[in-house]
Amino acid sequence: MVVTHSPVSTSKRMQVDEIAAAVGSRFGSTARVSRGSSGVALSIALLDPATLPAISKFLFWESACSFGGIVVEEVQNDWRLSYFFLSLGSGWMEVLLEVPSSTPTVPSISTEVHAADWFEREAEDLFGLEFEGHPRLGDFVLHDQIWPEGVAPHRKLQRKTMDTRRDRLRHRPNAEWRPLLVVRDPGAFAMPIGPVYEGGLGQSVHFLLETVGEDVVRAVPRLFYNFRAIEKIAEGQPVSRALLIAERFAATSSFAHSLSFCLAIERMSGTEVPARGKNLRVLLSELERLRHHAGAIAGVCESTALSVAASQAAIIEERLLRASCQFTGHRYLFGLNTPGGLRRDFTAEACAELLKVMDQAVGELHVVEQGLHFTSSFLDRLENVGIVDPERARDLNFVGPVGRASGQTEDLRRDCPYTGYETYQFQVPHEIEGDGYARLRVLFQEAYESAKLVHQAANRLEPGEVSVPCDPPARGVALGWAEAPIGAALHWLRLDDGGLVERYRVITASFNNWLGFRVAVENFAFQDFPIILASFGLSPTECDR
Amino acid sequence: MSFWFWRGLRKGMHTTRYPKASETAAGVTPGRPVTTQFASVQQAALAAQVCPVGAITAQDGSAHVDLDFCIHCQRCRFGNSPPMDWQSDYEWTTLPHGLRRYEPLPRAYRRSMHIIVVDAGDCGACLHEVKQLNNPFYNMHRLGMFFTATPRTADVLLVVGPVTENMRVPLLKTYEAMPNPKKVLAVGACAVSGGIFGQSFVSAGGVSSVLPVDLEIPGDPAPPLAILHGLLVVTGRKAPVGYQSSLERSA
């Protein structure tokens, strides 16, 4: 798609109150503005679906809001769609739209807000909704060679019929299926990579790289090989079990996801977590970020075949994994978060031991960073490679460290604080070059900031409770958010009368960023591809859910 | 460039002595719940109740654990009183249910075994732990084990994840492309039993419903040493848990 909009710099960042007033005056007859609840600051209900693209454009481009995602719900005779936008510094907004189920057509906003592209394709596949004006629908979550047309497995009707094993085995793979090739030129060819590549050590994802020679002309990542339908299998489950799913669908940022989930439940029931619980949550979140970034740095070094540096970073990562296990009982911090706080408390000695190992690891990370800064053969592979400029990053709504390397300064810890982050002192490092080296620098800087935050949190630990009882309420809806190591993680939840999950929606940073990954790959040479992939550090499984 | 040379040398060895000696460093394994004798029948029943996946069964005051289903949520360890006994080991590889005999790969594979990994719906944890086998702490190469990029040269297939509908065909194709003799290892609770994802319209609920599985390595995720133990079992240098080889039996 061609960028037709003005860049960010010309638009002024608007606060929620200003936006409410502006929407009221501009879209007064077709939109009803009200105070939101359960984590949402402002709710805009649309009376006429036709205004949706205009209002989305206004929020994303003129008010400089960031796009959160789309939540689709099926209520009796209607489709209810919520479009989430974040006004940085003043909170979440939702644009509500109801469409009668007899005519499942919604105007597409992806021509105005390009970041909504994949969200609409996903809703089309899983719910059978039609997005009018969307340039390309079909073959997305449900791969066309496996799934028959018109399945829409997330619809409520399907709950009974889809669950049987017999039904699952009925789909026979279609051997005739071929991907759509666009590049037509003498000598043009397509290079397929995946879903089993790097000896299977890469997560399942398929790339189709179209080329006429050395440079990649068109890159098409094909995801959802790991589609486990967690949103669907959580339906009808008690909250305690849905929490296990939230924790286990993307393990490298499991603490952030379970935290985001628990925050939604706590917001729903109005529970205030005790100070010690909050501080420990910050400590563990930052420990996870530090460990994740050490692993991502090891990945970048490995992709450039700089073995010693990769090994050094891998040693740091394994040390942190072991320290996490010694401290909490699990290498990936499973089983700690619970609605109302944490499941267990830690002794001061254990904290001191953790800090000791962490400080040593951070010291070693500094040495690795210094070494890399002076290794020209390494820098040659990263500098000016895989560039995403700030305008493009804004257009595609990049989040997390990848976005911050391309001039997007959004960080939920600072811009929409949760679990007490507003009381902490920290920097949000960002770069504007948007190349592989900028992404690597952001990873290092964030890792150091995380270590500082762990120290701050440890210093604040006063004796006290780590959790309070928190029973999920019967009936409720809430949005939870957390800044996962890869970027914003949103968990949206609606509970039914019995306190069971009625609809569960997970929006991950990987889903957001995979959309724009092709921008970084296109027009760069084949041999740069693994390095760009590693410097993005995206998780297919977190995207697939 | 000489910086990295000296840096690598100066850092010294980190590699574990396993399998020659057992690894005792803290944090290499999350451990596992084991059969626990409780003071009363009620306490045992309570421990079984707290398990969200039904891995614990109570019988006459003692609680038994089926590690195949355990997802390491630790609810029976923290927050349950009294807690289950917890054992810090990592040699967990077992034969699949119903399989009695086991033949390791021929001796020729002991110093040269090539492994291909397939991510069939994994959350990233098991795959990450498999990847750790290449780091200096575990250094799989010293044992003559290597990851290979193509199924044509692979002897062992490591499968992680519950086998999603979209990954079923790539998994089968990988298996079919491998030459004989070949072994299939299911790594992690999801690959062994479906784990938290279970059996649904997108998940086959374990590798055994798609492929014949030779060995199972439970754990959520299975720590690197547990996976290494599984690989040593494939080469015949270790025995599966609870399995006596015919050699030992006759002796």
Among candidate residues A161, A186, A204, the one where a domain is terminated: A161
Q: Which of B86, B166, B199, B209 to mutate to test the interface with A (most CBs of A within 10 A)?
A: B166
Q: Is A408 on the interface with B (CB under 8 A)?
A: no
Q: Do A151 and A243 lie in a common domain?
A: no
The reply to whether A195 touches chain B by the CB within 8 Å rule is yes
Whole-angstrom Cα distance, residue B212 to residue A291?
36
Q: Residues A259, A264, A268, CA angle at the centre, nearest 5°?
A: 145
Shared-domain flag, residues A245 and A151: no
Nearest to A201 among B26, B131, B200 (CB): B131
> How far off is chain A from B248, nearest CA to CA, in Å?
36
Binary contact (B165, A227; C-beta < 8 A)? yes
Cross-strand partners of A488: A483
Residue B187: both structure tokens together: 């790594």
Q: Which domain holds residue A41?
A: 15-161
Separation between Cα atoms, residue A136 and residue A138, nearest integer Å: 7
pLDDT by position in tens, chain A (length 545): 344 444 444 466 778 888 888 887 888 788 888 887 778 888 888 888 888 888 888 888 888 888 988 999 888 888 888 999 988 888 888 888 888 888 888 888 888 888 888 998 888 888 888 888 887 777 788 887 777 776 777 777 655 545 444 455 455 667 777 777 787 888 888 888 878 877 667 788 888 888 888 888 888 888 889 888 888 888 888 998 899 999 988 888 899 999 999 999 998 888 889 999 999 999 999 999 999 999 999 999 988 888 888 988 999 999 999 999 989 889 999 888 989 888 888 888 888 999 999 999 999 999 999 889 888 888 888 888 888 888 888 888 898 899 999 988 888 888 888 888 889 988 889 888 888 899 999 999 999 999 999 999 999 888 888 888 888 888 888 899 999 999 889 999 999 888 888 889 999 988 888 888 888 888 888 888 888 888 888 888 888 88
Structure confidence at residue A14 (pLDDT)? 79
Chain B residues whose CB is inside 8 A of the A357 CB are none
Same domain, A441 and A529: yes
Task: Read off the pTM.
Answer: 0.90
Cα–Cα distance for residue pair A141/A542, rounded to 1 Å = 13
Give the three-state DSSP class for A123. Answer: helix
Answer yes or no: do A378 and A473 share one domain. yes
C-alpha A308/C-alpha B136 separation (Å) is 10
Same domain, A363 and A440: yes
| Residue of A248, A329, A331 lying closest to B196 (CB–CB) | A248
What tens digit of pLDDT does each residue of B20-78 get? 888 888 888 888 888 888 888 888 888 888 888 888 888 888 888 888 888 888 888 88
Contact predicate B171/B120, CB 8 Å: yes
E strand or H helix that includes residue B189: helix B189-193
Angstroms from A517 CA to nearest CA on chain B: 20
State whether residue A309 sits within 8 Å of chain B by CB.
Answer: yes
Whole-number Å distance between alpha carbons of B161 and B204: 10
Measured between its terminal Cα atoms, the distance across chain A in Å is 26
Residue A191 inside a domain? The answer is: no
Is residue A8 one of the residues assigned to a domain?
A: no
What's the CA angle centered on A485, arms A483 and A487, to 5 degrees?
Answer: 50
Tell me how far apart the alpha carbons of residues A82 and A71 are, in angstroms, rounded to a whole number: 5
Q: A502 in a domain, yes or no? A: yes
The pLDDT profile of chain B, 251 residues, written as one tens digit per residue, is 578 888 888 888 888 888 888 888 888 888 888 888 888 888 888 888 888 888 888 888 888 888 888 888 888 888 767 888 888 888 888 888 877 778 888 888 888 899 999 999 888 888 999 989 988 899 898 898 999 888 999 999 999 999 988 888 889 989 999 998 899 999 999 899 888 888 888 888 889 888 899 999 998 889 999 999 999 999 988 878 877 654 454 44
Looking at chain A, which residue has its C-alpha nearest residue B117?
A: A200
- Smallest CA–CA separation between B198 and chain A, in Å? 9
Chain A residue numbers touching B128 (CB-CB < 8 A): 251-252, 295
Closest residue in A to B31 (Cα) is A329
Nearest-CA distance from B37 to chain A in Å?
A: 22
Category of B79 on φ-ψ map: left (φ > 0), alpha (ψ -120 to 50) or beta: left
Closest to A76 (Cα-Cα) out of A156, A153, A152, A130: A156
Q: Which residue of B has its CA nearest to A159?
A: B201
Spatial contact of A427 and A280, defined as CB atoms under 8 Å apart: no
Q: Is residue A445 part of a domain?
A: yes
Please report residues of A whose CB lies closer than 8 A to that of B123.
Answer: 248-251, 254, 541
Q: Is residue A183 part of a domain?
A: no
Domain contains A245: yes
Are the Cβ atoms of A199 and B148 closer than 8 angstroms? yes
Closest Cα in chain B, distance from residue A326 (Å): 5
Contact A8, A82 (CB under 8 A): no
> Is residue A219 in a domain?
no
Distances A514 to A223, A333, A440 between C-alpha atoms, Å: 9, 26, 18
Q: Are residues A266 and A135 in the same domain?
A: no
Peptide bond into B221 cis (omega under 30): yes
Separation CA B13–CA B9 (nearest Å): 8
Distance (Å, whole) CA A119 – CA A74: 16
Q: Tell me the residues of chain B between 170 and 209 that have a Cβ less than 8 Å away from chain A.
A: 170, 174, 195-204
Q: For position A170, what pLDDT does the model report?
A: 54
Give domain status of residue A214, yes or no: no
- With beta carbons less than 8 A apart as the criterion, state whether A343 and A335 touch: yes
Could you give the number of structural domains in chain A?
Answer: 2
**Which of B1, B130, B165, B227 is the best substitution to test chain A (most A C-beta atoms within 10 A)?**
B165
Q: What is the domain-level CATH number for residue A243?
A: 1.10.645.10
Q: Which fold has domain B107-234?
A: Rossmann fold (3.40.50)
Q: What is the CATH number of the domain that holds A104?
A: 3.30.460.80
Judged by a CB distance cut-off of 8 A, whether residue B6 touches chain A is no
Q: How far is CA A104 from CA A80, A98, A130, A303, in A?
A: 11, 10, 6, 46
Chain A contact for B120 (CB, 8 A cutoff): yes
Nearest to B36 by CA among B68, B74, B84: B84
Looking at residue A164, its pLDDT comes to 44
Q: Where are the domains of chain B?
A: 32-87, 107-234
CA A325 to chain B, closest CA, distance in angstroms equals: 5
As a dihedral over the C-alpha atoms of residue A159, residue A160, residue A162, residue A168, rounded to 10 degrees, the angle is 150
User: In chain B, what residues touch A295 (CB-CB under 8 Å)?
Assistant: 128
ipTM score assigned to the predicted complex: 0.90
Give me the residues of B, 56-115, that contact A with CB < 8 A: 71-75, 77-79, 115
Q: Measure the CA–CA gap between A252 and A136, rounded to whole angstroms.
A: 32
| Residue where a domain stops, chosen among A131, A161, A191 | A161
Task: Give dist(CA A520, CA A537) in Å, integer.
Answer: 13
Contact B124 A334 (CB under 8 A): no
Q: A145 and A267: one domain?
A: no
Mutation for testing the A interface, residue in B116, B123, B127 having most A CBs under 10 Å = B123
Distance CA A349, CA A331 (A): 19
Residues A389 and A506 occupy one common structural domain = yes
For chain B, count helices (H), then strands (E): 7, 10
| Cα atoms found within 13 Å of the Cα of residue A210, Cβ hemisphere only | 15
CB A396 within 8 A of CB A362: no
Q: Looking at A115, A131, A161, which one is the last position of a domain?
A: A161
H or E element in which residue B165 lies: helix B165-177
Residues A126, A239 within the same domain: no
Output the CA–CA distances (angstroms, integers) from residue A162 to A153, A171, A181, B199, in the order listed. 7, 12, 33, 11
B220–chain A Cβ distance below 8 A for any pair? yes
